Structure 1
Amino acid sequence: MRLVDFHCHLDLYPEFETLVAESERLGIFTLAVTTTPKAWARNNKLASSTKYVRTALGLHPQLVAERWREIDLWERLLDETRYVGEVGLDAGPRYYSSMDRQTEIFRRVLRCCAQAGGKILSIHSVRAAPKVLDLIEEEVPNGRAKFVLHWFTGSAADARRAADLGCYFSVNSQMLQTDRGRALVSSLPVERLLTETDGPFTSDGDRPARPRDVATAVRQLATARGISIEDGAETILRNLKTLTA
């Protein structure tokens, strides 16, 4: 099967270079998201010579309280990539106190992407899906960027609204381990589904998940949708091609 890991923090593994090489050898399309623009140069240098690994320029909402000044660097680097991530909002208890700053930074990210055109964003939306969608509607004219909601945990109504806005959803195996998660994923438009690991923040057995482990998400997704594993993998690959066309 051709696999897609559309959200993985490759630079957070001790064996970063080995995993880039493994994704390339196995032909796994891997989006290496970053959490701060200061990580861009190292990631991009390693991935730039590959066919299957792409680097996304990020400023993680969980780091905004301490790293928000790096938005200036983020803006200077934006022209170097088509992919943006991890960006977004996190309204969880640990990070709610920085929501005003997070909103300011995410709004700037969206405005810059809208101005540049053609960007593909991998978006964090923990307990903040309605606000994320509000900002997308406010700041990005239709067709100026594409959005992938990573590890989406919003409501069914939020999911329908996101789909109506043209968003995609990247799904990992942990999402598919609960009845609620399976029900949500089963309700999403099949033509908007991608897979991810979010490694190393998820596990496969007793070790952090790596891009090749996204096969687990493909199997679980196929089961949830009532299709074969092969059809599931082909659907994900077709959706990726549509997203990146």
Structure 2
Amino acid sequence: MGLDGPRFYKSLDIQKHVFRSVLERCAEAGGKILTVHSVRSVPAVLEMVERYLPQDRGTVVLHWFTGSKSEARRAATLGCYFPVNAEMTRSDRGRALVTELPIDRILTETDGPFTHIDGRPSESADVNTTVAAIADVRKLPVDAVATAVRSNLRFLLGRRP
């Protein structure tokens, strides 16, 4: 769910209509966790989250976030979480972004089979590799990152009614 940019601009109005509807329904229900795509559409996604899903009514997890540092800061103030996969830590831009994400908003994701580790599709068992990559980028002990990610996940899940 979310918005997928340029290649899908022909359907962007429809995407926005559906996304708004989902956000509004989740706000009505309360306590929902939404995993959201924001491919080349971060500003529009954040605007819609801010407008249609109050923080006390639900939480957004921004799957494979590729926005700017300022967009990441805005998303964090909106209560969003950022799952990081190992592939995100391989580019200069990705490493810079991972360094800027608030540690209390980082989760992990493998996004297998679309990402690869050691030449093979990622799988859930690779989460420790992802944690180690985050620790390396942020220059933190692996245990500290693992503890933070577990704490973030527990907090996120604990917010559900």
TM-score range, shorter chain: over 0.9
Matching residue within 60, 66, 73 for 1:160: 73
TM-superposition CA deviations, 1:176-208 (whole Å, max 9, x none): 101111111101110000000111111122321
Matched, 1:88 2:2: yes
TM-superposition CA deviations, 1:85-113 (whole Å, max 9, x none): xx1100032x2211111111111110110
Matching residue within 67, 78, 86 for 1:173: 86
**2:55·2:79 contact (CA, 8 Å) conserved in 1?**
no
- Greater RCO between the two (CA within 8 Å, min separation 6)? 1
Matching residue within 227, 232, 235 for 2:140: 227
Deviation at 1:167, TM superposition (A): 0.7
Number of residue equivalences: 158
> Given the superposition, is the C-alpha separation of residues 206 and 224 from structure 1 closer, same or farther in structure 2, using an over 3 Å criterion?
closer
Matched, 1:115 2:24: no
Q: Give the TM-score normalised by the residue count of structure 1.
A: 0.63
1:127 aligned residue: 40
Give identity over the alignment, percent.
51
> Given the superposition, is the C-alpha separation of residues 182 and 204 from structure 1 closer, same or farther in structure 2, using an over 3 Å criterion?
same
Which amino acid in structure 1 is aligned with residue 134 of structure 2? L
SS in 2 for 1:121: strand
Deviation at 1:243, TM superposition (A): 0.8
Q: RMSD over aligned Cα, in angstroms?
A: 1.0
Distance 2:136 2:6 in 1: 31
Matching residue within 149, 153, 160 for 1:236: 149
Which amino acid in structure 2 is aligned with residue 238 of structure 1? S
The unaligned stretches of length 5 or more in structure 1 are 1-86
What does 1:97-112 correspond to in 2, within 5 Å? Answer: 97-112=10-25
Q: Give the TM-score normalised by the residue count of structure 2.
A: 0.94
